[in-house]
Amino acid sequence: MKQLSRRDFLKATAGAAGASLLSASPFALNVIRAQGDYQGKFVIMSAGIAEQNADLIEGIQTKFPGIEVEWRGLTSEKYVELFTASEVAGDQIDLMDLNGQDLRRYAVGGRMKDLSSLTYLDRFRPIGLETYTVGGTLWALPNGGISGFPFFVNRKALDAIGFEGDPESYQDLIDMSPALKEAGYAPFVHAGQNIYLWPIWQFWGYAQSSGNNAVEGTYSVLAGDTKFTDPEHVAGLEFLYRYAQDGMFIDSVNSLDVPAAQLAFTEGKGAFWYHHSSFVGTYRSGEYPNLDLSFIQPLRSVEDTNVMRQLPGGTGAAVGIYSKIAPEREEIALAILDFMTSDEMTTIRNQNGADAVSTNVNVAPSDDPLALRYAEIGSPAQITYLDWYWPPEITRAFQEHQQALVAGTETPDVAAQGIQDAMDELYADGYEFVS
């Protein structure tokens, strides 16, 4: 037998060591795993931040050992641009946990898988499934709470001026505003610097000015049958303009972002705050000695008392599967989607958010008093956010022109014309509304 030289021995052991390292490398492991159940990184592109979804992330990783969830909290405001950047860069994308506002774009753009054939759809309230059906196809599952934007009230402010009960109309606000200001409260706080939050004023305003036909009216205007310069739309803008012209907003409204607006409201600088119902969860988890939180439906701004005081809301997050997901992850994606929207995980999500009504039929709502109040007066008055139907150019047009209304640099008819101009430009580019 030939004796091994030292060189040959070293070569052989180096080769064996190299082979061992290679077989243990992530690359090799993924190659092996690709042929069986997937294990490894799983990316969820979410409008919510990881800290608020820690329970869910832990739940997924416990339920599916070997799966490492990478939760990317893009936020609602920046979801589209950050998602686009990731997609163009070729990043891994598996599940999309969207704000419902963006669903239409991704559904129509072929970025989501058809979920119509899932077998557990009876788990969800029909309104959620209807909302996330575009062009006859279900693109995402509703998850979380049916929530919206009520007018939050600091009852300490109303107590300070001796106002009992709930105001109902804009005239009530006008009547109480001198006393509020004297007591040190601005009538309304709003995060005006965050341009993303201005359209919610049109949502409730147009709901009233259209006689509670806001969704139908939106379909009509996007299809080109009516215009944003028609009286009902202009009237919605007029309501916001009056709030600003009548001095109902805190002076710093256009320089407040959400944290600053929250601080102003919770520190007793404002009597009302138009914000999302999820703030109830924040209120419960913090200490706010200057705040006694309640809420009402948006104040009536029309004469007709038969018109409901509707508030804009949504049917939870829209959770779907990225259409270009790697084939080896498709099966695990379906399993995780099922788990994320299960009654068990949705219950946790609803409790954390103090949601009044769950997207899941068999999940009991939160027992928080404010959640119960929302179930009583909020969700029955809810209409879908209109920007879930608007193209992004129209959303931006409303944002800019509404901010201009509040700043006093535009009047409602000028703002309406600017929005219609944006719509006309879209038609010229070949825009077609898909219902």
Partner 1 sequence: MASITTTNPSGEGWRWRLGKLSPYLWILPALALYFVFKLGPLIGGLVLSVLRWDGIEDPVFVGLQNFERIFSDDIVGLALTHNVLYALGTVTGKILLALFLALLLNQGMRGRAFYRTSLFMPVVMSFVVISILWSWLYNPDFGLINNLFKSLGLNFLALNWLGDTNIALLSLIIVDIWKWYGFHMVIFLAGLQTIPSELYEAAKIDGASNWQQLRYITLPLLKPVMIVNITLSLAGAFNVFDIPFIMTQGGPANATMVMAVHIYLRGFKFYRFGYSAALNYVLLVIVTLVSALQLRLMSSNDGE
Position 90 contacts partner 1 (CB under 8 A): no
Q: Measured from the CB of residue 84, what is the shortest distance to partner 1 in angstroms?
A: 5
CB closer to partner 1, 168 vs 400: 400
CB closer to partner 1, 193 vs 245: 193
In 3D space, the residue among 200, 118, 102, 356 whose CA is nearest the CA of residue 129 turns out to be 118
Please tell me whether residue 98 adopts helix, strand or coil conformation: strand
270-274 vs 186-189, strand pairing mode:
parallel
Cβ distance 104 to 388 under 8 Å? yes
Q: Measured from the CB of residue 336, what is the shortest distance to partner 1 in angstroms?
A: 24
Position 87 contacts partner 1 (CB under 8 A): yes
What is the chain's length? 435
Q: Measured from the CB of residue 252, what is the shortest distance to partner 1 in angstroms?
A: 4
CB closer to partner 1, 177 vs 341: 177
Position 111 contacts partner 1 (CB under 8 A): yes
Q: What is the DSSP string of 121-160?
A: GGGB-HHHHHHTEETTEE--EEEEEEEE--EEEEHHHHHH
SS3 content of the chain, % helix, strand, coil (to 5): 50, 15, 35
Query: Which of 237, 406, 416, 423 contacts partner 1 by CB under 8 A?
Result: 406
Cβ distance 65 to 335 under 8 Å? no
Position 244 contacts partner 1 (CB under 8 A): no
Position 393 contacts partner 1 (CB under 8 A): yes
Position 264 contacts partner 1 (CB under 8 A): yes
Residues β-bridged to residue 312 = 383
Six-digit token string for 177: 């505003």
Residues in 331-390 at the binding interface with partner 1, rule: CB under 8 A: none
Query: Which of 57, 80, 348, 372 contacts partner 1 by CB under 8 A?
Result: 80
Position 110 contacts partner 1 (CB under 8 A): yes
Position 1 contacts partner 1 (CB under 8 A): no
Q: Please state, in angstroms and rounded to a whole number, the distance separating the CA atoms of residues 147 and 356.
A: 7
Position 193 contacts partner 1 (CB under 8 A): yes
Cβ distance 340 to 143 under 8 Å? yes
40-46 vs 95-98, strand pairing mode:
parallel
CB closer to partner 1, 85 vs 223: 85
Q: Measured from the CB of residue 391, what is the shortest distance to partner 1 in angstroms?
A: 9
Position 240 contacts partner 1 (CB under 8 A): no
Q: Which residues bind partner 1 (CB under 8 A)?
A: 80-81, 84-85, 87-88, 109-111, 192-195, 250-257, 260, 263-264, 267, 269, 392-393, 396, 400, 403-404, 406-407, 409-410
